[in-house]
Amino acid sequence: MNQRPNILLLVNDHQAYYRHGWDGGPRPLTPNFDRLAAGGIRFDRAYCATPLCGPSRRTLLTGLYPHNHRNYYNYSNSLYDHEVYLSNLAQVGYKCFYFGKWHAGAGTALDFDCDGFSLEDYGNPYITPEYRDYLERKRLPPAQHQVEFVFDSFVMNREFPNLEAGASYRSDRYWCGEHATGITTTAKETHEAFFLADMACGQLEALAAADGDEPFHLRLDFWGPHQPFFPTKEFADLYDPEDIPVYGNFNDSLAGKPEIFWHDPHEQLTDEDGRFATPSALNWGEWQRIIARAFAHITMVDAAGGFVLDKLDELGFADNTLVIWTADHGDALASHGGRFDKGSYLTEEVLRVPLAMRYPGSIPAGQASEALACGTDIAPTILDAGGSRFERPVDGESLLPLASGRSVDGRQSLLVETYGHGFGTVEMGRAVIKDQYKLISYQNHAGELYDLEADPYELNNLMNDAGSQQLVADMEAELQRWLEATGDRDFSQPVSDAFRELDKQRMRELMARRARVNDVRK
């Protein structure tokens, strides 16, 4: 047995998690995540650093907030002028493998001392030679989907011209983030999650056959359960839409909310003036069908991850492997007036993520922690387990002392942030969570304050409440301490013209990359 553990990291993309099924009704079934958590520790107050794929994924690699790694948006492609944990692990003798979605900046995981399968930008596994080879080997047809519902927007109409409700659909564009629901009509094995799980399992088998002495790190990043929500019938049949109760803030009128909540790109969710419409233009019955597909998609991705956990057991790796399973950020699905995807706001729905860790013999089983954890902590935790560390200071901290019981004192508060959703939307926001309270501050919008214990759905903004002004002052002071401790100078100064011009340039570069690939595939 290796003295240092093997390390397996599973990352789901964009997962509806917070409060779905917590207050009655079905919750997304995740039996494999649950068995992992039962064998170790589940962090019930885990947050992403920022609710957007590109910056959050760079955080998972570096332990840094976006204001320090500077990969602000999904297309920013900022320089890697900081350490990436994959290379640090390789330097201390780990064999590193990466399978799946990258979306953390320019290049791919294979540029950082990894072997495996990784695509530039968001990527689309369904158009790759590796996927075609997999289908041929398994004697499978390409994944085919029956589309039920499409959230129309300028971007969706431009990027996915063949995406129509009622149509049979195949994902064949530069990226595969269609805002749609439906059913995958081919076998589940044609779905990207099972394709990736098969590659990961194959790599584990190769490592077992080689019987080498070096520990390994394998990272598996699914494209799901990010939309499109296209489960197979096997998983869709697990959920009756009529069983799903009205989500706790679905009927939010947005009274007391800042202007940022009234922005939304989806045609079905906005009024004639292009502003977010509340109450929702979609009735709850329509939302039930959308949510049911999202839940089924989550369960399908969980099943694919379960194949990898089973392979660890089968090959005898499980007892000497630290396994971490989390998501890059949450999902605003049906929340705060009925939303789809996410935006520039900092609600619990987009911030909270599942997080579980298992390492037999080092992490006692059956733990559930209320300690504040963050995406900034994943890379420091992995390096700590591997006997390495970042040479330069980072914003996160290892969770192993908490998980192993060596420490009972976690952080007392937590910072999360946003630079806005991008694509021309720049919104500077910071939030601090301490005890049951959460303060959100924006550069150009009114602030928010919530008591998450009394008001878990964030319906009652206490920012201007006369009895809350001392609490506001205390939370603002706590936020300022975080900004100073992490060197956040962006939030205290106006967004510069140079920042906006660079953002436009990076958008144009992304559009050109998409066009080149899409034109070839016509």
Rounded to 10 deg, the angle between the 31-38 and 284-315 helix axes is: 50
Question: Which candidate, 394, 260, 406, places its Cα nearest to that of 337?
Answer: 260
Q: Quick one: pLDDT at residue 407?
A: 79
Within-domain flag for 146: yes
DSSP 411: -
Q: What is the CA radius of gyration of the chain?
A: 22
Q: In this predicted structure, what is the pLDDT of residue 211?
A: 84
- pLDDT tens-place string over residues 43-69: 999 999 999 999 999 999 999 999 999
Beta-ladder partners of 184: 145, 232
Residue 264 counted as domain residue = yes
Whether 238 maps to a domain, the answer reads yes
DSSP conformation class of 75: T
How far apart are the C-alpha atoms of 416 and 394, rounded to whole Å? 15
Decide if 126 contacts 173 (C-beta within 8 A).
no
Domain contains 509: no
Residue 15 one-letter amino acid:
Q
Question: What are the angstrom distances between the C-alpha of 155 and each of 73, 159, 163, 302, 381?
Answer: 16, 6, 12, 29, 38
User: Structurally, how many domains does the chain consist of?
Assistant: 1
* pLDDT for the residue numbered 520: 67
Residue 518 within any structural domain of the chain: no
502 located within any domain: no
pLDDT in tens, 375-408: 999 999 999 999 999 999 999 999 999 999 987 7
For residue 165, the SS3 value is coil
What is the structure's pLDDT at 521?
64
Which residues of the chain, if any, have pLDDT below 70?
A: 1-2, 520-522
* Domain-embedded: residue 426: no
Which residues pair with residue 442 across a beta bridge? 429
pLDDT of residue 408: 75
Pair 126, 176: CB distance under 8 Å: yes
Provide the residue range defining the domain that includes 250. Answer: 6-409
pLDDT tens digits, residue range 122-160? Answer: 999 999 999 999 999 999 999 999 999 999 999 899 999
Residue 1's pLDDT is 36
- CATH at 299: 3.40.720.10
Q: Which is it for strands 437-442 and 429-434: parallel, antiparallel or unpaired?
A: antiparallel
pLDDT tens digits, one per residue of 170-209: 999 999 999 999 999 999 999 999 999 999 999 999 999 9
Cα separation values, 274 from 151, 212, 427, Å: 14, 59, 19
Q: Is residue 469 included in any domain, yes or no?
A: no
Cis peptide before 228 (omega within 30 of 0): yes
